[in-house]
């Protein structure tokens, strides 16, 4: 049986709040790239906590990557709880990407400290893909612009990292230099995020029930 863990909006908010000081200290991001859909809400919450008085909000961009395919409802029929479980695909599909045809957007990335935000690091396949592809695109853009300035540096923030063997790998410069931060490390459970709930009251009730167990 798949163990589910229900996370509320309130908890997500506090995970972002708790992580923000370390992100400010270690990454000092100038731009955030949220991996959609799960990275959008954490990125937006985090932005409020990363804002420093007198400075503008950190700009946010979004990319859409999909690895998991929705299963037919019968697969989940034994479940008595709200929330769908999805199953891992093997291939990452881009559903949305940065617009590299627009010069303004390229200039916004090159030479910046960029924080990639997602909700969960499960097999790490998605994060590996995102980092590799963004690095490639930034490199191509730098060459096109003849850019010779500061290096573009990527960091990662996720709400949850699952403590399991990973299929994907991230560059050593990230893992060894405090450029990867997970607000929580959890066991290999299925995390039900509030934005996926079709009945948020039932979702919160499950979270409350689980908290007293
Ligand atoms: P990975 O590529 O690390 O295996 O998976 C990343 C994506 O899979 C996440 O962005 C998320 O969309 C989905 N995913 C993996 N595990 C979970 C989970 O426990 N709960 C939910 N809701 N999504 C998950």
Does the Cβ of 126 fall within 6 Å of ligand 1?
Answer: yes
The rounded percent of the chain whose pLDDT value lies above 90 is 67
Residues 39 and 14: their CA atoms lie apart, in Å, by: 15
Does the Cβ of 117 fall within 6 Å of ligand 1?
Answer: no
Mutate which of 3, 120, 185 to test ligand 1's pocket (most atoms within 8 Å of Cβ)? 120
Among 29-33, 87-91, 159-163, 194-198, where is mean pLDDT lowest? 87-91
Among 11-15, 109-113, 141-145, 167-171, where is mean pLDDT lowest? 141-145
Q: How far is ligand 1, taken at its centre, from the CA of residue 54, in Å?
A: 36
Band (78; pLDDT cuts 50, 70, 90): very low
Q: How far is ligand 1, taken at its centre, from the CA of residue 142, in Å?
A: 31
CATH number at residue 157: 3.40.50.2020
Catalytic pick among 122, 137, 188, 199:
122
Task: Enter the pTM of the model.
Answer: 0.89
- State the residue range of the domain holding 119: 4-212
Q: Which residue has the higher pLDDT, 78 or 116?
A: 116
User: Using an 8 Å Cβ cutoff, are 131 and 156 in contact?
Assistant: yes
Does the Cβ of 190 fall within 6 Å of ligand 1?
Answer: yes
Does the Cβ of 34 fall within 6 Å of ligand 1?
Answer: no
Residue 126's SS3 state is helix
Q: How far is ligand 1, taken at its centre, from the CA of residue 122, in Å?
A: 5
How far is C-alpha 7 from the chain's CA centre? 15
Band (86; pLDDT cuts 50, 70, 90): low
H helix runs in 4-158, sequence order: 9-26, 40-50, 103-109, 125-145
Mean pLDDT of all residues belonging to the chain: 88
Count up the domains in the chain and report the number: 1
**How much is the average pLDDT of 121-147?**
92
Does the Cβ of 119 fall within 6 Å of ligand 1?
Answer: yes
User: Using an 8 Å Cβ cutoff, are 6 and 192 in contact?
Assistant: yes
Residues 139 and 136: their CA atoms lie apart, in Å, by: 5
Band (84; pLDDT cuts 50, 70, 90): low
The position carrying tokens 């007293």 is: 212
52-72 residue pLDDT tens = 999 899 999 999 998 865 444
Q: How far is ligand 1, taken at its centre, from the CA of residue 144, in Å?
A: 34
Does the Cβ of 123 fall within 6 Å of ligand 1?
Answer: yes
Q: How far is ligand 1, taken at its centre, from the CA of residue 56, in Å?
A: 31
Is residue 122 flagged as an active site residue? Answer: yes
Does the Cβ of 161 fall within 6 Å of ligand 1?
Answer: no
* C-alpha to C-alpha distances, 170 to 68, 115, 130, 146, nearest whole angstrom: 20, 14, 10, 27
Query: In the prediction, which pLDDT does 164 show?
Result: 97
Atom number in ligand 1 closest to CA 167: 4
């Amino acid at each position: 049986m798949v163990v589910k863990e229900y996370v509320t909006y309130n908890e997500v908010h506090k995970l972002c709040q708790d992580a923000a000081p370390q992100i400010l200290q270690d990454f000092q991001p100038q731009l955030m790239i949220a991996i959609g859909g799960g990275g959008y809400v954490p990125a937006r919450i985090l932005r409020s906590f990363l804002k420093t008085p007198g400075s503008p909000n950190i700009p946010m961009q979004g990319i859409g990557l999909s690895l998991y395919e929705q299963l037919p409802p019968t697969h989940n029929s034994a479940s008595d709880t709200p929330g769908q479980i999805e199953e891992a695909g093997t291939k990452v599909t881009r559903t949305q990407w940065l617009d590299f045809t627009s010069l303004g957007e390229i200039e916004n990335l090159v030479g910046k400290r960029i924080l990639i935000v997602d909700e969960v690091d499960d097999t790490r396949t998605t994060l590996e893909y995102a980092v590799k592809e963004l690095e490639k695109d930034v490199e191509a853009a730098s060459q096109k612009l003849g850019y010779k300035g500061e290096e573009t540096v990527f960091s990662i923030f996720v709400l949850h990292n699952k403590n399991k063997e990973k299929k994907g790998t991230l560059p050593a410069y990230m893992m060894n230099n405090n450029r990867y931060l997970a607000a929580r490390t959890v066991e290999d459970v299925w995390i039900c995020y509030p934005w996926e709930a079709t009945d948020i009251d039932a979702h919160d009730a499950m979270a409350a029930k689980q908290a007293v167990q």
